[in-house]
Structure 1
Amino acid sequence: MTAPLFAAAPQLAVNVLSAQSLLAAFGVLGVGLVMFAETGLLIGFFLPGDSLLFTAGLLCARSGRHGVQLSLAPLLVAAVVGALAGAQCGYLLGRKAGGALLARSRSARLHEGAQRAEELLQRYGHARAIVLARFVPVVRTVLNPMAGALGVPLRTFTVWQMAGGLVWSLGLTLGGYTLGSSIPDVDRYLLPLVAVIVAVSLIPLATEVHRSRRAAKAKEAGG
């Protein structure tokens, strides 16, 4: 009886930092749960949201390989529902608990993300900040409760978190699926592709920062 138990133990081990490990263990359900935790619960700030969506889409096109069986329609539903419900839950938690949740955390990375989230809200206004935060790891985790704590109107938050959540979750998932469908054996280069897609996901924020700095310089020069 003892031997089978120990033999099964490696199969039960899941690396929560690895998109492929999460998908192999939990499939589509894991995508929904990770999206919810990363965007709604502060403890989920370390989860691989970008890479999980892209990898899930890519492996969905190569279903059955790497021990992962995924279907596109359920995957898209899980990604969207998890991302939107998580953000809304984070906002409501922040609205009720204020800054108490962040104050209890000892994570320097989490507090740095909170500072960046607050700067986004102040610099770009509610709508653009909520959308841009979706594409920045850690910031997308803390901006939602920060928005609630700082009194961002519920309607404003809901509209823009849904807009950003749809673009982010569907865009990355369908991007991975399209690439996996069009290029044979693309999954051999999964790790470099994930690194590239994470870098690309930061382009909207970088563009917005560049525009903001140019506008500020133009204002100073005109003054």
Structure 2
Amino acid sequence: MSNFEWTQLVNPEFYITFTIGGIQLGLYIVLFIVFAETGLFAGFFLPGDSLLFLAGIYSRDLVQNILFIESDFINLVLLSTLVALSGVFGNMVGYWFGAQSGYYLYNREDTLLFKKKYLLQSKEFFEKHGGKAIIYARFLPIVRTFAPIVAGIGSMDKKKFMFFNILSSFLWSFILIFSGHYLYGLFKDQWGIDLKEHIEKIVIGIILVSTIPVFLKLIKQKVVAK
């Protein structure tokens, strides 16, 4: 921690490998971040997609601190399930917060951690796609933070919300974590490339891929407005 720099806060690897007194806290931090991304509406700046992809690469290191399991597959299933449950609970808190504070949020002034435009964009996205927006939003930065809040504001049926909430959380966590783990093995076995040595490029690539749809939507809105 003596060499800590603020830029590390946007680097997913920093959270995954975080240790205090020799104790690896990566798993707990990953679970908290996944929860905070939707459970705390200020979590939109957290590195969700790239964090889960890297969690797949470091899956054994993360899980063995709470339970040693020989099987990589079981490790991945356990890790993905824990992450998915954190996502489910995060969305539930976001839904509850939206149901309780919708009027307040729409009339709140912008701050460093809250931008009303993100809320409005998520509302439009939700109105276009309905319940499926909960699934789509899981794979879109910023939108996934506000989608459950918008669902709560719009009084979406709770059973319907929970169905899409659980489905989207498990799809998101299993796809990204399993992809990270098996692509790491593929690159290392087939081409001798250790993805752990290219973490920065991976993070940048995932951020670009996951944010392109958001930017295209913004550009389209500006063109239509003109």
**TM-score scaled by structure 2?**
0.74
Corresponding position: 1:140 with 2:144: yes
Q: Which amino acid in 1 is paired with 2:154?
A: L
Larger Rg: 1 or 2?
Answer: 1
Question: Within the alignment, does 1:196 sit opposite 2:205 as a pair?
Answer: yes
Q: Is the 8 A contact 1:14 1:22 kept in 2?
A: no
In structure 2, the partner of 1:160 is 164
Q: Is the 8 A contact 1:14 1:21 kept in 2?
A: no
The one-letter code of the counterpart of 2:196 is D
Give 1:45 shift.
1.3
List aligned pairs for 1:69-80, cutoff 5 A: 72-80=76-84
Question: What secondary structure is seen at the aligned counterpart in 2 of 1:104?
Answer: coil
Is the contact made by 1:110 and 1:138 (CA closer than 8 Å) also made in structure 2? no
Q: Distance in 1 between matches of 2:103 and 2:50?
A: 29
Runs of 4+ residues deviating >6 angstroms? 11-14
Which of 4, 9, 23 is the aligned partner of 2:16?
23
Query: Is 1:87 matched with 2:91?
Result: yes
User: Root-mean-square deviation (CA), in Å?
Assistant: 2.8
Q: Which residue of 2 aligns with 1:56?
A: 55
Q: 1:130 to 1:29 in 2, by over 3 A?
A: same
* Residue segments in structure 1 that go unaligned for 5+ positions in a row: 1-7, 65-69, 210-223
Instruction: Please list the CA deviations of residues 83-108 of structure 1 after superposition, one character each: whole Å capped at 9, or x if unmatched.
Output: 11101111011112223245435248
Aligned residues: 192
Residue of structure 2 equivalent to 1:186: 195
1:156-193 deviations in Å (ceiling 9; x for gaps): 11111111111111111111011112222122222222
User: Match for 1:75: what amino acid?
Assistant: L
Q: 1:133 to 1:105 in 2, by over 3 A?
A: farther
1:15 counterpart SS class:
helix
| Preserved contact between residue 99 and residue 146 of structure 1 (Cα < 8 Å) | no
Partners of 1:139 and 1:167 in 2: CA distance: 17
Change (3 A) 1:9 1:194: closer
Q: Is the 8 A contact 2:141 2:211 kept in 1?
A: no
Flag structure 2 segments of 5+ consecutive residues without an equivalent: 19-24, 63-67, 69-74, 189-193, 218-226
Rounded Cα–Cα distance in structure 1 between residues aligned with 2:5 and 2:124:
41
SS at match of 1:33: helix
Map of 2:174 onto structure 1: 170
Query: Alignment partner of 2:155: what SS?
Result: coil
SS in 2 for 1:99: helix
Does structure 2 retain, via aligned residues, the 8 Å contact 1:83–1:165?
A: yes
Equivalent residues of 2:80, 2:174 under 8 A apart: yes
Which one-letter code corresponds to 1:189 in the other structure? H
Q: 2:124 aligns with which of 108, 119, 124?
A: 119
As a proportion of its length, which structure holds more helix?
A: 1
Identity %: 29
3-state secondary structure, aligned to 1:106: coil
Mapped to 1, the partners of 2:29 and 2:153 lie a distance apart of 29
Q: Match for residue 216 of structure 1?
A: none
Alpha-carbon distance in structure 2 between the residues aligned to 1:200 and 1:102: 30
Letter in 1 for 2:117: E
Matches within 5 A, 1:35-50: 35-50=34-49
Q: Is contact 1:84-1:162 (8 Å) kept?
A: yes
What TM-score does the superposition give when structure 1 sets the normalisation length? 0.75
What's the offset of the Cα at 1:49?
A: 0.5
